[in-house]
Chain A
């Protein structure tokens, strides 16, 4: 094997951070090389430098042994290096073909040669098994296909070294499998892939070699087969990490949250919840698995009062909260970790003190007549910051200056301190790194031990499988499966999430319809 890329002693400084501190990286021709690290470790910065998006302050890049300087992305692409970003850069109202040829259009005189363009797309698509519909509008196709379009776009420009920035973050388990197939095909064809991730399991599954970054420095490079997940986690975080939280056996108590025949519409007025019923008991974590956009968001919003229901009932113990305001539900004992912490969970331009106050501002000891007792609020914030180990210079800083993990800690601290009887946790670990995930998981398990009822919504199957006592699968606004912990496998859940019936997939025993409390059923409807 020959060396494709060598980056030597790359240094990149940002105003207050040393993002890359003398980073050296060698990538061999035709390998899948993983760049592993926590959020903020400097992975993306390093790859932005390699793809010409940013210039290094120090250090050099050698491409096939020759020093290169990229002045722009286009420059890097000309040298055969292309990057597929986390957020796709596609034009939603253009077709797949139009997006792929954008900026590189085959011309026939003044006019675009669409016929030639389509043929080229079809050929590339065929060769690497990248299935796309060349005439569909990008806004109409699923995320997984959009990603394939991005990869095709890079390939169509003759890119030989492809950088994928956290490509699995937006995909369903099935789509992840398909991506792996594509990656292997590309490797077979002699392409080199740099794969940015913070998920250990993916590294183990797909990569040949791995380089771990921490705080902008290289912790080491290894052949993937020589290292295990625990070892990688230690390199990433700098200490031993509990990757799969251990939970004590805990028996569920009385029913705390009961949802009956809930119907609701989404923001566009289309049916989003179609007869959803579920219950959560004290001391139990119920996990809802599902691909994003199948009604989980609407379910959470209807339960917490942020969205109107069409019909159905929501009970907190014996109390019907269906018609209550969000504030009344909160007072009735409903806690909520929202899935979008920057939009819902926090006021980004508020100080931490003001953020900790949210929902408490009308209750003692903070409310003093029409006034707020800020001394009390400050004390409360300090306490919370300490209890939940929020890394911040102080309670006065704005929420937006904190890292994602610390922002999430603020929300969790606030919701936990509300001491809710029922907690709705929507995507509580989305975008968090290993250490922060560990913290959140332990917190949820602790609540469970305190006999709280927890409804966990997550796109991460491992999270659902690790934490839940019972697992429900949502698909197109319905609950299509229910399992006890230990009964479900990722494959079974994955298929249900994608809308298949389990018997087609592998002959699971099933009962005709799903009802509350009955486990192991699949809805055929």
Chain B
């Protein structure tokens, strides 16, 4: 141990020397943060995509901006350029005693598990994944509820009475989509067949296209894709064969205005806003927070009205209200799907 200490001393001295040589050598002086006392400060750590990804990170950040507007909190973001930075980014912010630190994306699970226990007094939030830590609010979504509506739209729109589902990886979240989707189809018309394929990756558009073409070939005319970047291949296939496709996470209509008939959008900003509000109100608690249709956590994309006839859309909106009212409980796992009995629609 003593040798280690000597080494450290040498390195510290080296550091001092270097600091001394710099034109701005005030390493020990405390730097005042921009926020005056008592103003809360919220920080977000992005995954590798960073801000400007038009997806997860941007959506979460919109929640931050809303918090700033409504409660006057200071907000800041630290962008990770690589996975190895998750831990230092989270812990640097924890050292700063931020009032809430949000990690975006399920890849940050390991890092959250490492950092959160070291700063038990700091409030953390993790988007789209779950860790069992008392000071981490895990923001997750009732994807099954949104997917249920997508299933309904698919079943109403299908003329071949065959619809498809293309998933990225077989993760818990994607399975939740599948269960909800299939239940939605079944509710509208139990005789409509659902074809299911998984690409095994979120970043393989070629594979996505291949699977989608196969399903269209087998007679499906609507496919719901839950496959990240892989899903762009699915949309491609729809465009090529002039079939229908349903997008995910955000309104993907612009990718193929005539083929993307709807999208299931995730209210990431809404979720973060809700947890942030709890912090502001002093009611923060760790654990799982699930947001569904009722909380605006998941929803139907506005562009749906462009391709889906008003009568169908009206029916789907009725189903949505039934879910919000608790009259329909979309299954969240494939096991629950087995015992799911389709309700009768009005």
Are A and B in direct contact (Cβ within 8 Å)?
no
B residues adjacent to A (C-beta < 8 A): none
A residues adjacent to B (C-beta < 8 A): none
